[in-house]
A and B are shown apart, each in its own frame.
Chain A
Amino acid sequence: MTAPPLLTIDKLSLDFDTRSGTVKALEDIDLTLNKGEILGIVGESGSGKSVLSFAIMGLLDEAAKLRADKISFGGMALNAKSVAEMRGRELSMIFQSPRTALNPIRKVGKQIEDVLVRHAPLPRKAAKSAAIAALRQVRIPDPERRYNAYPFELSGGMCQRVMIAMALACDPTLLIADEPTTGLDVTTQAVVMDLIRDIAAERNMAVILITHDLALAGEYCDRVAVMHAGHIVEVAPAAQVAQNALRHPYARRLFAATPAASAELEDLAAIPGSLPDLRGTLPACRYMARCEIARPDCAQAPLPAHDISPSHLVRCRYCP
């Protein structure tokens, strides 16, 4: 790893000012991503994983207060202005529930064309064939016919492929996939994930895969970052996930909570407690209240980060 990373984030924090107080949505996020790497960000709902991706994309609303020592992408500082230039071209994003993420009253082919034309001045005819080529690339059968389809005429899996085709139309170097398989049935999930992995490998494109499914992340990613309540608590090579070698108590609980195919309902191991309220003062370790190995000094800052290996980092004072 001699090349500089594609994306570097140092000490990113994000607050939302609301009527009922300031919500500390993200705190001290450090993250790097290399070219062509697939990074999984895993956590339960509300852990801040989607908000982190919106922060990278510059899609936060005005109530958000973002601070960071450094956010750089491809050697350039990412700020509101530069990210607006890069969206859809250098970095792109796909979302969960693809059926609502597409404009319901425009033909899917036209929607892809709109993105193409926006970023590269193309005559309409060339744009159309490029859009059809983009549909073909995501393995949509009969792309000439699908070009004319409206989103409501396509299945959820098809819509997600259209989303991917749209996101990849301008050949981005980073794709953020925000729970791309939520709401799709299991076989379609695998098809969509295979597609993302294959295209990423083909184009040497980096992917941030946001999911609550640790097993999925372990299977498709190179590295996995586990988030809890706005902190990244552990970053590890994906191989560690399969070997159940994660260290942080939350990550271990998350692993144990993944249902096995043979599991009965009562075998499911839920994680006790719920996410802390992110308003007001919080202990240094935000998992403390739910943790079985917590001790009183877990509340004291700073939250230590210790390296198990150069590529494996855990932020916990007492984990083994």
Chain B
Amino acid sequence: MPLLLTLLRRIGSAIPSVFGVILVTFVLARALPGDPAAYYAGASATPDSIAQIRSQLGLDQPLIVQFFGYLGQLAHGNLGQSTSSGQAVLSDLIERLPASIELTLTALMFALIVAIPLGIWAATRPGSWVDHLCRLLVTLGAAFPTFFTALTFVYIFYFQLDVAPEPLGRLSEIYYTMPPRVTGLLLIDTLLAGDPEAFRAAFAQLILPAISLGLFALAPIARVTRAAMLEALGSDYCRTARAMGLSRGRILFVIALRNAALPILNVLGMVFSFLLGANVLIEKVFAWPGIGAYAVNAVIASDYAAVQGFVLMMALLFIVLNLVVDLFASMADPRVRYDD
């Protein structure tokens, strides 16, 4: 089972990264300006009470002891308390993560559905109008910042044309009931609850933010698809396939596309992580209750535990994402399985 071996090896190689991330978030929190003990003790604290709180928090211990204490907390799933929401950071993140995931996945899906056919089409007709259209979209997608497209969309489709619902979160709870939480993804939960009305409403809320986010993801995917397909179609093995009389469709969609899959997959991994970052802006524009908006609020409120938890979670997400990309890559290309 070379595939399983690859998976195990990749997971093994992810362990140092996880440790590194934990170390960095720990050091980051210690390096931030301000004394948490004084902060907790409040304005009227005496030096004695601050020292007492410091020893309660364990901040008078050597850093290495504190670090192991932090590791112990993490092992129990304890990311600390958020000072702004008053809740455990972990439950805050779990509460809000699905909103971001749903938005990101929908955006990615939109980008894929547009970008891959466009890239393939452009590659089969280099220099044609499709190719120019592809180039135009790629340039526009890369040139316009997401919040600008998002605001433009809100202005046109909500304010001027009034075809989009108001950009205020995932589902208007005045008109619809929130479905019971199963996956946290509203598109799925509404269907599970048997509420097609709410599904339609949730979908309508999702369209504008997902497209503004997706346009940003579309550019690199279309560009890489076009380039990878051009390279594959011009390759020796595609020439061989033509010389052997294989059909045009087979050469294009089976031989060339499968060979182009690897670079496309790699850029997908990258795009997905861009999207998680770009979420922050889109969530602000659409009042989307995701983790991006949460992190922004936490930074503004100097809510260190929340920021630390957010950074740690994002880092872990990136690691998992890379694992998944590696896994798909080794399925797409046998040569990857043998690399060390």
Contacts and interface: CB of A to CB of B under 8 A. Distances in A.
B335 A150 contact: yes
B-side interface mostly: helix
28 contacts: A59-B242, A84-B245, A86-B245, A87-B242, A87-B243, A87-B244, A88-B243, A88-B245, A92-B244, A93-B243, A100-B235, A100-B237, A101-B236, A103-B240, A104-B237, A105-B258, A105-B333, A114-B250, A115-B244, A118-B245, A118-B246, A119-B245, A150-B335, A163-B240, A166-B240, A166-B244, A167-B243, A167-B244
Interface in B321-340: 332-335
A102 B240 contact: yes
A105 B242 CA distance: 17
B247 interface: yes
Interface in A94-119: 95, 97, 100-106, 114-115, 118-119
A57 interface: yes
Closest 10 CB pairs of A and B: A88-B245, A87-B245, A88-B244, A93-B243, A100-B236, A103-B237, A101-B236, A115-B244, A101-B240, A150-B334
Given A101-B236, A104-B335, A89 B259 contact: no
Interface string B133-164: 00000000000000000000000000000000
Interface residues of B, number: 20
A139 to B, nearest CB: 21
Contacts of A86: 245
B313 interface: no
B335 A101 contact: no
Contacts of A57: 243
A103 B244 contact: no
Interface string B238-262: 0111111111001000010011000
A165 to B, nearest CB: 11
A95 B335 contact: no
B243 A103 contact: no
Contacts of A166: 240, 244
A93 B235 CA distance: 16
Interface in B290-340: 332-335
A119 B332 CA distance: 27
A104 B243 contact: no
Given A105-B332, A105-B334, A152-B335, A92 B259 contact: no
Q: Name the residue among B235, B243, B246, B333 with the largest chain A CB count within 10 angstroms.
A: B243
Contacts of B245: 84, 86-89, 115, 118-119
A103 B241 contact: yes
Nearest to A93: B243
Given A150-B334, A152-B335, A104 B246 contact: no
